[in-house]
Amino acid sequence: MIIMTNLVIRLSREVIEHFKSEGKGWQTRIDVALRQHIVKHKDNMKTYDWDPADDIKTKEDVIGILEAAIEENDPRFLLSVIGDIARSKGMTQYEVNR
């Protein structure tokens, strides 16, 4: 039995459009694709440091991440996202401890 967990994840528009174009159940299909990838590559998978600020480039990115953070209804997460946005704009003094 697979237990699903709600979370906020940012994906490229192309990925979302691809999976949504196939109709209802698009989020489940993304989950299946990711699990298949893990099974196929688990022996070669490596983790690395990643800063979300590096992927916030446009006004649309800012709006999207803020909307997703607000939907989570978690003030600490919202502050973290605001810190990511600030860092993406070069405001390094506004880093939020995670």
Q: Provide the number of structural domains found in the chain.
A: 2
35 plus 54 within the same structural domain: no
Q: Which domain holds residue 60?
A: 48-98
What six digits make up the tokens of 68? Answer: 């997703």
27 plus 42 within the same structural domain: yes
30 plus 59 within the same structural domain: no
54 plus 98 within the same structural domain: yes
The position carrying tokens 């979370």 is 7
- Encode pLDDT of 4-54 as tens digits: 777 778 888 899 999 999 988 888 899 999 999 988 888 887 877 888 888
What six digits make up the tokens of 30? Answer: 């993304």
Of the pLDDT bands very low, low, confident and very high (cuts 50, 70, 90), residue 96 is: low
53 plus 98 within the same structural domain: yes
Q: Which amino acid is at 7?
A: L
Query: What's this model's pTM, rounded to 2 decimal places?
Result: 0.51
72 plus 39 within the same structural domain: no
92 plus 59 within the same structural domain: yes
40 plus 79 within the same structural domain: no
94 plus 72 within the same structural domain: yes
Residues 76-84 have a mean pLDDT of: 89
41 plus 55 within the same structural domain: no
Residue 57's nearest CA partner among 88, 82, 78, 13 is 88
Under 8 Å CB-to-CB from 44, ≥6 apart: which residues?
Answer: none
Q: Contact, 65 vs 53, CB < 8 A? A: no
Does 3 have pLDDT greater than 80?
no
